């Protein structure tokens, strides 16, 4: 187990980052022009990194599959971004943000990384304001804050219900400025198909132009993957339709370890599923839990009556409602972390108290509207209420919203060390694509913080420590180096194989089937038997895919079915690794809930003696079991406790 | 409900396109418009026909990737939403629905209903940002900004870059799009510094890329899925005049 070196700097946790920066290698301006960096992804992590690299003077190539970098999935983040500014003077500090994040992650995150995240959080807000991000303000002209789950302070900065959009447009502006300056070359509608490794170091990527189908090789002295999370593996999730795990999976197959793939976040407040044709689930931001109260009827008869349409939620008196989060967790109430809130909703619905289809609970603004007035609620959440009304055709100002948990975020991802370098030298992973900061559960408003921290304030330093030794490496000619030629040929062969099957099943039908297997067995509650079943079923479905999938059209033109088939082929492998990881982790931690490991009250029960480690999986071949490496987690600045929100 | 779909099919940028008609049955009114197209595409696949290509990603009205001209209106019959947020309850059983791509010289068709909107990126590259590098900036609360100005900047900043304003405009003008960025940044002290230069550079690029002039018809404002007001165009004009006066 000594193969994993997380390269955590010496010193007290509060001093590590400063120590690192004081001693790291740097590249002088003249040499920067001679070094190429490839960045895959233009979300908060990739966009911020690429722009910052360009400003520093590196030569950067950036890739995204959408038609514009501005459309990366970060755009959809609604609620906000955390920072330890303590502007409201309510007791916040860098240490408290660090502490809340480690505790929220159920003590399964790396202390040093999280501390650094909390440290740079304040710089992010300064940076965004300087870029012209219109954060919400008070009448006095200063920035406004709100609260998110898992915190007792108000540290979340926001721009209405469109925070991700505004932050991403800030990063996109910075990126545009570098594109204009010629330091960054943008490749939109281009999908990364493989990572190229030469003499043990990442040296480039192979891409497919989604319009022409052209397969091309690109060289870089270093490669950054900022390709987002793999939640779409479940078919139904809050992620964008194109979100995928392919870049991470290709890296895994080239030797990068996948860490904690079973840690998936299920968000408690999403619009419930309504039919088989459904293509995605819509999130109702966690910020709504600032003012909304979650409940189901206290009497099961009332739930039945509501489901059968004989009773309306507004008919029930206060005494007839069970505000179960406030009842079970008086200290945090409706603002418990997501994993806790999701499981509590499932518990009530499984017990028969659900409303709507039976798989839904209420999120009610009645008391907030009475207390604050409809106008203030409209100002805070207007666009979310509008979104809800358009989808469900009900007015949430008048009748409570119906919500249910849905797949939202992946804490697991590519293993990285303190420098955000993967186990392949020269290959980095940033943002949701890496595993680094959220342990087994992410707190709300922390993904935007992490993406921008990685992109603006971590990678621009750490990548130089690597590139400082690369100044003598000349650019490679991709048409002559064997590894590039081979990788390109493999991609073409992979695509030809997909095109040649011409079976009887559409990509979506197989993807939906995979989604059902995952949701039923590797979802909110997991057990040994279910996980073993999932592994068998996924393996069978994978065989079916490679025998029966049907991809029409040609490979050398725009072909949406081929794009989907490429991604689903990888999901069918990654899904199995997730189930394996979940099976091996014989404890409950954060988003990973093993039914065998719970307290009498139904709370998650960790096993710190045996599982205080990061599970990093190494690919060993298609038909060989992956090898598990363990990175022990040591807590020096925080005392590990049972997570308690009561 | 049962529907007849008349969709624009075009093999690639250089081919000539035409409408094709399809029948589709049993669509529930709770499904979204794009889910209806998903069902149609699954049906086409079963018949061995290539599915209809259309752009989409977030499916919640924020990424700006979806487009579509539906029954003669950008983003369809509902107001202040994108096509991905449009639901089938806005249609009736037996309806014929005509679906076309955005039609504008600035947005050439790539395939079927997909168009190339990189012109928008190019306009923003010309100056749609504040010229600051990462790091070394003042504290976020160092400059107070009035809530009214800040809220108005946010109104403009909600633009999702979908292109509905251009597609709707009889002149194919990108003025509302350009105005949103210019106005957002002109309203904030951080952006005000480069305001005039920005307006000039972005308008010059817009003209070069083949978008038409604004004749104040106001059609863009009506079809904007984010309901952004054309008052921002007035602010753009002010910034632009200010820049020209200095020349
Ligand atoms: C609906 C929703 C709301 C959210 N709200 C919040 C919130 O309020 N606060 C918060 O902190 N977090 C929130 N999150 C989480 C947060 O938005 C994401 O975790 C974060 O934005 C991810 O950023 P990223 O840069 O890592 O990746 P993304 O923004 O997902 O970007 C991925 C990039 O990679 C590119 N890419 C992917 N695969 C390939 C490939 N194979 N080839 C080429 N390019 C590729 C894509 O084109 C894209 O540019 C929310 C998430 C969702 C889904
Ligand atoms: S798909 Fe994102 S706005 Fe419609």
DSSP element (H, E) containing A371: helix A366-372
Chain A residue with Cα closest to B185: A132
- Side-chain half-sphere CA neighbours of A464 within 13 A: 24
Averaged pLDDT for residues B103-129: 97
A230/A439 Cα distance (integer angstroms): 16
pLDDT of residue A1: 46
User: Smallest Cα–Cα separation from B89: which of B77, B74, B101, B73?
Assistant: B77
Task: Count CB neighbours of A638 within 10 A.
Answer: 16
Residue A234 bridge partners (DSSP) = none
Establish if A25 touches chain B: CB-CB under 8 angstroms: no
Query: DSSP secondary-structure letter at A458?
Result: I
CA A198 from centre of chain? 29
In this structure, which ligand is nearest to the CA of B82? 2
E strands along A122-263, which residues? 156-157, 184-187, 190-198, 201-209, 215-219, 222-225, 258-259
Question: Each residue of A243-268: pLDDT tens digit?
Answer: 999 999 999 999 999 999 999 999 99
Atom from ligand 1 closest to the CA of residue A286: 8
Residue among B38, B117, B128 whose CB faces A67 most closely: B117
Q: Give the residue whose CA is nearest to atom 3 of ligand 2.
A: B61
Contacts of B56 in chain A (CB under 8 A): 241
Domains of chain B: 3-111 (3.10.20.30), 118-246 (1.10.1060.10)
* Mean pLDDT score of chain A: 96
Chain B residue with Cα closest to A125: B140
Question: Each residue of B156-202: pLDDT tens digit?
Answer: 999 999 999 999 999 999 999 999 999 999 999 999 999 999 999 99
A269-405 domain in CATH 3.90.600.10?
Answer: no
A606 catalytic? Reply is: no
| Residue A439, helix vs strand vs coil | coil
Does the beta carbon of A551 lie inside 6 Å of ligand 1? no
Out of B37, B58, B164, mutate this one to test ligand 2's pocket (max ligand atoms within 8 Å of CB): namely B58
Question: Each residue of A65-84: pLDDT tens digit?
Answer: 999 999 999 999 998 999 99
A9/A112 Cα distance (integer angstroms): 8
| Residue A65, helix vs strand vs coil | coil
| Cα–Cα distance list, A289 to A325, A330, A333, B146 (Å) | 11, 14, 9, 28
Q: CB burial class (10 A; 0-12, 13-18, 19+) of residue B194? A: middle
Indicate the angle between helix axes B118-125 and A163-181, nearest 10 degrees: 70
- Cβ–Cβ below 8 Å for A277 and B35: yes
DSSP element (H, E) containing A38: strand A36-40
pLDDT of residue A383: 82
pLDDT of residue A165: 98
Establish if A242 touches chain B: CB-CB under 8 angstroms: yes
CATH architecture of the domain with residue range A489-607: Up-down Bundle (1.20)
- Cβ–Cβ below 8 Å for B35 and A553: no
Query: DSSP secondary-structure letter at A289?
Result: G
Q: Which residues line ligand 2 (CB under 6 A)?
A: B 56-59, 61-66, 82, 84
Establish if B15 touches chain A: CB-CB under 8 angstroms: no
A345/A349 Cα distance (integer angstroms): 6
> Which of B31, B39, B63, B126 to mutate to test binding with chain A, by most A CBs within 10 Å of its CB?
B63
CA B241-B172-A66 angle, 5° bins: 105
Domains A269-405 and A489-607 share a fold: no
Asked if B182 and B204 touch (Cβ cutoff 8 Å), the reply is: no
In this structure, which ligand is nearest to the CA of A69? 1
Q: pLDDT-based confidence at B245, cuts 50/70/90? A: confident
Q: How many CB pairs under 8 A join A and B?
A: 212
* Mean pLDDT score of chain B: 96
Question: Each residue of A372-409: pLDDT tens digit?
Answer: 999 999 988 888 898 899 899 999 999 999 999 999 99
* Helical ranges in chain B per DSSP H: 33-46, 118-125, 147-157, 164-168, 175-186, 189-192, 195-208, 219-223, 231-246
A314/A355 Cα distance (integer angstroms): 13
Residue A293 bridge partners (DSSP) = A364
DSSP element (H, E) containing A572: helix A560-584
User: Smallest Cα–Cα separation from A130: which of B184, B194, B183, B188?
Assistant: B188
Establish if A240 touches chain B: CB-CB under 8 angstroms: yes
- CA A163 / ligand 2 centre spacing (Å): 16
Question: Each residue of A278-328: pLDDT tens digit?
Answer: 999 999 988 899 899 999 999 999 999 999 999 999 999 999 999 999 999
pLDDT of residue A643: 87
User: Smallest Cα–Cα separation from A362: which of A311, A313, A290?
Assistant: A313
Contacts of A21 in chain B (CB under 8 A): none
Q: CB burial class (10 A; 0-12, 13-18, 19+) of residue A473? A: middle
pLDDT(B74) > 50: yes
pLDDT(A2) > 60: no
Domain parsing of chain A, residue ranges? 269-405, 489-607
User: Smallest Cα–Cα separation from B84: which of B101, B50, B59, B51?
Assistant: B59
CA A231 from centre of chain? 7
pTM over 0.80: yes
Q: Cα Rg for chain A, rounded, in angstroms?
A: 24
Question: What are the backbone dihedrals phi and psi of residue A294, each rounded to the nearest 5 degrees, phi first?
Answer: -100, 130
pLDDT of residue A77: 95
| Cα–Cα distance list, A631 to A2, A98, A101, A257, A420 (Å) | 8, 20, 19, 12, 15
Residue B9 bridge partners (DSSP) = B18
- In chain B, what are the helix, strand and coil shares in percent, each to the nearest 5? 40, 15, 50
- In chain A, what are the helix, strand and coil shares in percent, each to the nearest 5? 40, 15, 40
- Cβ–Cβ below 8 Å for A66 and B128: no
Q: pLDDT-based confidence at A210, cuts 50/70/90? A: very high
| Residue A146, helix vs strand vs coil | strand
Q: pLDDT-based confidence at A623, cuts 50/70/90? A: confident
């Amino acid at each position: 187990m000594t193969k994993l070196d997380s390269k955590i700097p010496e010193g007290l946790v509060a001093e590590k980052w400063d120590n690192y920066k004081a001693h790291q290698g740097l590249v002088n301006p003249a040499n920067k022009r001679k070094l190429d960096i490839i960045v895959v992804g233009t979300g908060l992590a990739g966009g911020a990194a690429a722009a910052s690299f360009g400003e520093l003077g590196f030569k950067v190539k950036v890739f995204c599959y959408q038609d514009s970098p501005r459309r990366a999935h970060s755009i959809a983040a609604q609620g906000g971004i955390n920072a330890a500014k303590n502007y409201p003077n309510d007791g916040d500090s860098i240490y408290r943000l660090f502490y809340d994040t480690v505790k929220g992650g159920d003590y399964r995150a790396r202390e040093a990384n999280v501390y650094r995240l909390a440290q740079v959080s304040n710089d992010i807000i300064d940076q965004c304001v300087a870029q012209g991000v219109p954060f919400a303000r008070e009448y006095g002209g200063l920035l406004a804050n709100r609260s998110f789950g898992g915190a007792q302070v108000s540290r979340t900065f926001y721009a209405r219900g469109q925070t991700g959009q505004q932050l991403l447009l800030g990063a996109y502006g910075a990126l545009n400025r570098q594109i204009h300056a010629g330091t960054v070359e943008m490749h939109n509608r281009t999908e990364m198909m493989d990572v190229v490794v030469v003499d043990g170091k990442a040296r480039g990527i192979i891409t497919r132009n989604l319009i022409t189908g052209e397969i091309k090789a690109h060289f870089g002295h270093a490669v950054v993957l900022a390709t987002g999370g793999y939640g779409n593996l479940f078919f139904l999730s809050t992620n964008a339709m194109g979100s995928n795990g392919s870049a991470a999976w290709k890296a895994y197959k080239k030797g990068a370890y996948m860490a904690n793939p079973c840690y998936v976040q299920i968000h408690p407040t999403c619009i419930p599923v309504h039919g088989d044709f459904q293509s995605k689930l819509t999130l109702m931001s966690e910020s709504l839990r600032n003012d909304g109260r979650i409940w189901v009827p206290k009497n099961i008869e009332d739930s039945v009556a509501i489901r059968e349409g004989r009773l309306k939620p507004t008919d029930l008196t206060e005494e007839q409602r069970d505000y179960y989060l406030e009842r079970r967790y008086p200290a945090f109430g409706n603002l418990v972390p997501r994993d806790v809130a999701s499981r509590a909703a499932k518990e009530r619905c499984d017990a028969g108290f659900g409303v709507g289809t039976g798989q839904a609970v209420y999120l009610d603004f009645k008391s907030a509207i009475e207390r604050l007035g409809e106008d203030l609620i409209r100002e805070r959440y207007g666009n979310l209420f509008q979104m809800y009304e358009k989808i469900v055709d009900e007015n949430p100002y008048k009748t409570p919203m119906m919500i249910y948990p849905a797949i939202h975020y992946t804490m697991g991802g590519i293993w990285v060390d303190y420098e955000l370098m993967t186990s392949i030298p020269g290959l980095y992973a940033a943002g949701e694509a890496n595993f680094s900061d959220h342990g087994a559960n992410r707190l709300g408003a922390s993904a935007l913080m992490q993406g921008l921290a990685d992109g603006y304030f971590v990678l621009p330093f750490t990548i130089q420590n690597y590139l400082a030794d690369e100044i003598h490496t000349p650019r490679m000619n991709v048409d002559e180096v064997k590894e590039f030629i081979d990788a390109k040929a493999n991609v073409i062969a992979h695509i030809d194989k997909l095109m040649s099957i011409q079976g009887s099943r559409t990509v979506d039908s197989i993807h939906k089937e995979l989604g059902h297997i995952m949701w039923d067995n590797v979802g909110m509650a997991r057990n040994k038997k279910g996980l073993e079943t999932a592994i068998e079923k996924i393996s069978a479905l994978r065989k079916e895919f490679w025998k029966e999938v049907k991809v029409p059209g040609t490979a050398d033109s725009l072909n949406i079915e081929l794009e989907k088939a490429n991604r689903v082929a990888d999901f069918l492998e990654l899904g199995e690794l997730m189930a394996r990881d979940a099976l091996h982790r014989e404890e409950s931690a954060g988003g990973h809930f093993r039914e065998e490991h719970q307290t009498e009250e139904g709370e998650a029960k960790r096993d710190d003696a045996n599982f205080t480690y990061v599970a990093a999986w190494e690919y060993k071949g298609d038909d060989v079991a992956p090898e598990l490496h363990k990175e022990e987690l040591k807590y020096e600045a925080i005392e590990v406790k049972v997570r308690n929100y009561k | 409900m049962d529907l007849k779909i008349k969709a624009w099919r075009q093999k690639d940028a250089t081919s000539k396109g035409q409408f094709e008609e399809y029948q589709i049955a049993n669509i529930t009114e709770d499904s979204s418009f794009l889910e209806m197209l998903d069902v149609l595409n699954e049906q086409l696949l079963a018949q061995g026909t290539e599915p209809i290509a259309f752009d989409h990603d977030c499916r919640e009205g924020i990424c700006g990737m979806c487009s579509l001209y539906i029954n003669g209106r950008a983003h369809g019959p509902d107001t202040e939403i994108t096509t991905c947020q449009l639901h089938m309850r806005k249609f009736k059983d037996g309806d014929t629905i005509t679906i076309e791509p955005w039609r504008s010289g600035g947005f050439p068709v790539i395939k079927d209903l997909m168009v190339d909107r990189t012109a928008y990126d190019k306009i923003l590259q010309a100056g749609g940002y504040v010229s600051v590098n990462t790091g070394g900036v003042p504290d976020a609360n160092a400059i107070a900004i009035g809530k009214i100005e800040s809220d108005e900047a946010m109104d403009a900043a909600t633009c999702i870059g979908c292109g509905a304003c251009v597609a709707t405009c009889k002149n194919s003008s990108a003025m509302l799009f350009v105005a949103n960025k210019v106005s957002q940044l002109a309203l904030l002290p951080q952006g005000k510094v480069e305001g005039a230069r920005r307006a000039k550079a972005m308008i010059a690029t817009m003209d070069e890329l083949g978008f038409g002039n604004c004749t104040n018809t106001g059609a863009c404002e009506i079809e904007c899925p984010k309901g952004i007001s054309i008052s921002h165009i007035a602010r753009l004009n002010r910034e632009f005049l200010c820049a020209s006066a200095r020349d």
